[in-house]
């Protein structure tokens, strides 16, 4: 298997022009994770959310180890390197997922989409704080347009929403999940700056994440079962192979190539794909406000991805 194409110049990844390979990674991440929303819908039922997360990474982690091995990446690391894997596993592959799964029990999916789209802004802020990354005005404007656009697209769902104590708890869970996801992005950037291989790092991180979620499920007293229905197994297969193995391999590669600020905008594009699917699968009705929101998201996307004028 060929090595991923490297950036053509040692420039700030937030400002260099994207290559066709970068655009391909970006599009793949958006499409695969955008379709994951409907697959997650089929995971709700008999199996506890934490257990479904465990099964998801039980599928994905071995595949990631296999990919790393086939690419010739080293699989054994010093204990100091495992700190990064542990941090990434806790931040993204356990805390992030658990908080969002439980948030979904309290608030509408539209509110979850808006909360997660804030990762596009969170990555910018944390990148500046942790790595001293320059904040580009066009990226800030693009991120703001994206979040506002997602809110407009879900306005019909949110129009009559009232947050009681339970709903507020769900919103807190979603905010925590988003912050955890952004923190994991910073850990991934730090690991790649340490020259740790992307796929082996992700495989170890998934393993740590699955272990933590397993402990969480055991403490809760969840039963480790599988729902033997076509919808559940189909959704689980998609989330394990495409939504985890493929999507995270692509996302973390993209993160190292174009920076956290621009990669974070993919979280704004996921709900767009989800709503386009919902248009055909669930008869989502587009309104003028929703169409305006879509336009804002796309304009923000252009601002984020284009290279600045020299």
Q: Nearest to residue 133, comparing CAs of 186, 207, 192, 58? A: 186
* Per-residue confidence (pLDDT) for residue 310, from 0 to 100: 52
Q: Is residue 17 part of a domain?
A: no
CA distances from 216 to 11, 164, 172 (A): 42, 27, 19
64: region left, alpha or beta (phi > 0 left; psi from -120 to 50 alpha): alpha
Q: Is residue 7 part of a domain?
A: no
Quote the domain boundaries for residue 60.
Answer: 30-305
Q: Is residue 6 part of a domain?
A: no
42 contacts: CB under 8 Å, gap ≥ 6: 231, 232, 234, 235
Q: Are 216 and 93 in contact (CB under 8 A)?
A: no
Q: Is residue 148 part of a domain?
A: yes
Q: Is residue 145 part of a domain?
A: yes
226: region left, alpha or beta (phi > 0 left; psi from -120 to 50 alpha): beta
* Per-residue confidence (pLDDT) for residue 10, from 0 to 100: 46
Q: Number of structural domains, the chain?
A: 1
* Per-residue confidence (pLDDT) for residue 13, from 0 to 100: 63
How many Cα atoms are found within 13 Å in the side-chain-facing hemisphere of 131?
24
pLDDT tens for the 310 residues of the chain, in order: 444 444 444 456 656 788 999 999 999 999 998 888 777 777 777 899 899 999 999 999 999 999 999 999 999 999 999 999 999 999 999 999 999 888 877 776 667 778 888 898 899 999 999 988 888 888 889 989 999 988 888 877 666 556 566 777 888 898 999 999 999 999 999 999 999 999 999 999 999 999 999 999 999 999 999 999 998 999 999 999 999 999 999 999 999 999 988 998 998 898 888 888 878 776 777 889 889 999 999 999 988 887 666 5
Q: Is residue 158 part of a domain?
A: yes
Q: Is residue 20 part of a domain?
A: no
* Per-residue confidence (pLDDT) for residue 14, from 0 to 100: 58
Structure tokens given for 42: 């089929």
Global pTM value: 0.86
Q: Is residue 25 part of a domain?
A: no
């Amino acid at each position: 298997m060929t090595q991923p194409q490297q950036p053509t110049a040692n420039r700030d990844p937030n400002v260099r022009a994207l290559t066709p390979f970068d655009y391909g990674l970006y599009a793949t991440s958006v499409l695969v994770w955008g379709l994951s929303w409907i697959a997650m819908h089929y995971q709700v039922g008999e199996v506890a959310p934490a257990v479904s997360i465990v099964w998801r990474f039980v599928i994905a982690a071995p595949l990631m180890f296999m990919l790393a091995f086939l690419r010739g990446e080293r699989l054994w690391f010093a204990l100091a390197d495992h700190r990064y894997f542990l941090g990434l596993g806790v931040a993204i592959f356990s805390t992030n997922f658990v908080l969002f799964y439980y948030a979904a029990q309290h608030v509408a999916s539209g509110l979850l989409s808006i909360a997660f789209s804030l990762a596009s802004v969170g990555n910018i802020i944390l990148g500046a704080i942790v790595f001293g990354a320059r904040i580009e005005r066009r990226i800030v404007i693009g991120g703001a347009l994206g979040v506002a656009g997602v809110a407009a697209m879900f306005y019909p769902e949110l129009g009559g929403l009232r947050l009681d104590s339970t709903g507020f708890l769900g919103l807190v869970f979603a905010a925590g999940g988003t912050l955890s996801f952004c923190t994991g992005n910073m850990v991934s950037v730090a690991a790649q700056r340490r020259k740790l291989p992307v796929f082996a790092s992700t495989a170890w991180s998934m393993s740590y994440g699955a272990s933590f979620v397993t402990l969480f499920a055991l403490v809760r007293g969840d039963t480790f079962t599988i729902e033997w229905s076509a919808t559940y197994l189909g959704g689980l297969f998609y989330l394990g192979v495409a939504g985890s193995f493929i999507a995270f391999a692509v996302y973390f590669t993209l993160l190292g190539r174009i920076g956290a600020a621009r990669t974070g905008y993919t979280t704004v594009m996921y709900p767009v794909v989800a709503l386009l699917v919902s248009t055909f699968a669930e008869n989502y009705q587009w309104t003028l406000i929703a169409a305006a929101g879509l336009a804002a998201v796309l304009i923000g996307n252009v601002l984020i991805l284009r290279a600045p004028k020299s």
